Structure 1
Amino acid sequence: MAKIDLAYSLEIDEVIDAMEANEMWIEGRLFDKKAFVCPDPACDAKITCKNMDTYADKRKMNPHFIMASRTNMHSPKCQINKENKLNVYTKENHTVNGQNPVIGKKVCFHLVRPKNHGIVNKVNVNNHDKKENEYDKKRSNYNNSNKERKSNYYWLNSLVWFFVESNKSDKTKIDSVEIDFGKGRKYTYSLDNLFKKISTEKEITEKDRNHYIYYAKAKIYKRQDSSYSIIFLDKFLDSQKQVKCIIHKDLISNCRYGKNNKLSLLDSAIGKECYVYVLSTKNVSEKYKTVFLNIENLDSVAISEMEVGYNDNMDEDID
């Protein structure tokens, strides 16, 4: 069965991928993992977003789309399903210079959220039949505007799962992320360049003011003022300095989306060894013998119990 990359959400009237759906569930924008259909208006296939309603620390498989039932499959007229099958055939049977063609995927991560982010018009999913023409009209825009769309992520957990999947496919050199810093500042990184394993990186470089995603095993502690300290267990290459990230109270109070859920994830990890990722700049303090990783918001922290390179067996079961 061809992989389902995108689905149309009946709750927010948008075509999205499964990681975007999970992020929106965390932030209280989506509620029903079964409220999806095929983006093609010529198709009435119902789709389920498996693992949409689970937290990263509770799952061993990425959120992904599956067919909702074996009796409601894609329509024979569905162009999206035909294209997906063609892509699978091309990948498996056509070669370039003796190798299968490999195309990198690009996503966008927003370090700064747009002012209208999260403002959506909720619809009554149970009233789908009465709004069928309206949905089909919106879905018809898919062929024109969504074929080349980039997934838009706002929480680092989503980007980490993109990295994990890319690493398993050995595509981190060709898969890339456009980071939107706001005010028109956008920079594109390959995943191989963006993600920095602390134990393999130098303590001081010429690019420490730039944002990278640093990661290693760490422990999280809650401070008396309700802020958090992340103490990484690894050190930078040939360094004896402790590596630390502090989540200050102002970063917590300024979080507008999914704050309670994100704090619950931090609280559930307190005292445990887990993999922590932070999108940050680096500041080396000789005074405190510490390398500080400075984040800009609560969205810039991701927690996982899974090591990069872990190989799950992703299935396409029917719920």
Structure 2
Amino acid sequence: MTSLSKALSLECDEILTPEDADLYFQQGKIADKRNFICIGLNCGCRITCVNIDKPSSKRKVDPYFRTAELHSESCNIYETNYQNTVDYGDVAHVPDEQKKDENDSFFLKRPKHHLVETRAQPDISGIETVSKITGKDGGHIEHYSPSRIYHLGSLVGKYNKYEKMNLLKRKGVSIGDNSYAYSELFKRIKNQNINDHQVISNRERVYWGQVESIIKLNNGDVNIIFSEKATFKTASATTTISIKRSILNNYRFKRPIVDAITNSIGAEKNKLMAYVFGTPKLEVDDFVNFNFYPLNLDLIEIKKI
């Protein structure tokens, strides 16, 4: 059995991750978990997004894509060179020699060919090509191959999965020259004491928490304001993600983050969780504020609670 990190939805004609597919199913944008196909060139093998039709409380594992039939012989998904061998599309798809404990990788800059995602090739549009998975009747599944991640939403999905499996301290992710355990990388804003060293540090983190409001300013910029408070020394601090209008308008990748932001403007308090990767900038006037100014939407994720 193999798992793909992306598949093409025949219902909405978009390339989706399992997290995207789960969100689209809940929103009614897609209705059939079986209406996906492989994104490999010259391949139309049917893909099922397992578990999107189950309530979250009844899921033993998070949604994932599973092949429902054989790939075509010319499918380029399985022409990938791995560290110790080459996978040519045999039954296992991923070599047993591949290291099982390598870090995931989160890339802050996309390759040149990362434009609007169409039927793309492995390692060019951020596809985690294949993952060998093992399953028992009890539903336990382990993903062996590390992921190449280009949007924070996929990193959040990994964090949530590892949290449920109690693996946050054992699983890691590489970001540029830095490596983190997931438990170290993700910092909830609530009661977070951010000191001078953290503010000026180049070692970014993923900060997250419940949202107070999302507002659109007169100039078209959007501010995401957290309801949860951090502290600086002894002062309570409000945390805000400031998104420039140009960043919203110029995002070129087929990912629901733009709709997630714009559709959440005016949402009720504490109905959303927001995530941002970066280093907070301390700003003090009448109040103490921590502001994030992300360079692109790959560094932001919003999820409904």
TM-score by length of 2: 0.62
- Which residue number corresponds to residue 153 of structure 1? 149
Partner Cα separation in structure 1 for residue 130 and residue 190 of structure 2: 44
- The one-letter amino acid paired with 2:103 is K
Partner Cα separation in structure 2 for residue 250 and residue 8 of structure 1: 28
Residue aligned with 1:206, SS:
helix
Indicate which of 196, 212, 216 corresponds to 2:209. Answer: 216
Q: Is the 8 A contact 1:204 1:284 kept in 2?
A: no
Alpha-carbon deviation of 1:163?
Answer: 0.5
Partner Cα separation in structure 2 for residue 286 and residue 7 of structure 1: 43
Indicate which of 164, 180, 189 corresponds to 1:198. Answer: 189
**RMSD of aligned alpha carbons:** 4.4
Residue aligned with 2:259, SS:
helix
Q: Is the 8 A contact 1:203 1:239 kept in 2?
A: no
Partner Cα separation in structure 1 for residue 117 and residue 273 of structure 2: 33
Residue aligned with 2:273, SS:
strand
- Aligned pairs, how many? 234
**Structure 2 residue 77 is matched with structure 1 residue 68:** no
Alpha-carbon deviation of 1:300?
Answer: 1.0
- Which residue number corresponds to residue 233 of structure 1? 227
**Quick check: 159-168 or 287-296, which moved more?**
287-296
- Which residue number corresponds to residue 281 of structure 1? 279
- Which residue number corresponds to residue 100 of structure 1? none
Identity across the alignment (%): 22
Alpha-carbon deviation of 1:235?
Answer: 1.0
Q: Which runs of 5+ in 1 are unaligned?
A: 26-31, 39-43, 53-60, 85-102, 124-140, 181-185, 307-319
Can you list the C-alpha shifts for 1:9-37, whole angstroms capped at 9, x where unaligned?
699xxxx99559869x9xxxxxx953139
Q: Is the 8 A contact 1:20 1:153 kept in 2?
A: no
Indicate which of 259, 268, 278 corresponds to 1:264. Answer: 259
Q: Is the 8 A contact 2:47 2:66 kept in 1?
A: yes
**Structure 2 residue 165 is matched with structure 1 residue 169:** yes
- Which residue number corresponds to residue 113 of structure 1? 110
Structure 1 or 2: more strand by fraction: 2
- Which residue number corresponds to residue 252 of structure 1? 248
Work out which of the two has the higher radius of gyration on C-alpha atoms and give 1 or 2.
Answer: 1
Residue aligned with 1:303, SS:
strand
- The one-letter amino acid paired with 1:235 is K
- The one-letter amino acid paired with 2:225 is I
Alpha-carbon deviation of 1:207?
Answer: 3.0
- Which residue number corresponds to residue 132 of structure 1? none
TM-score by length of 1: 0.59
Alpha-carbon deviation of 1:301?
Answer: 0.9
Partner Cα separation in structure 2 for residue 177 and residue 255 of structure 1: 25
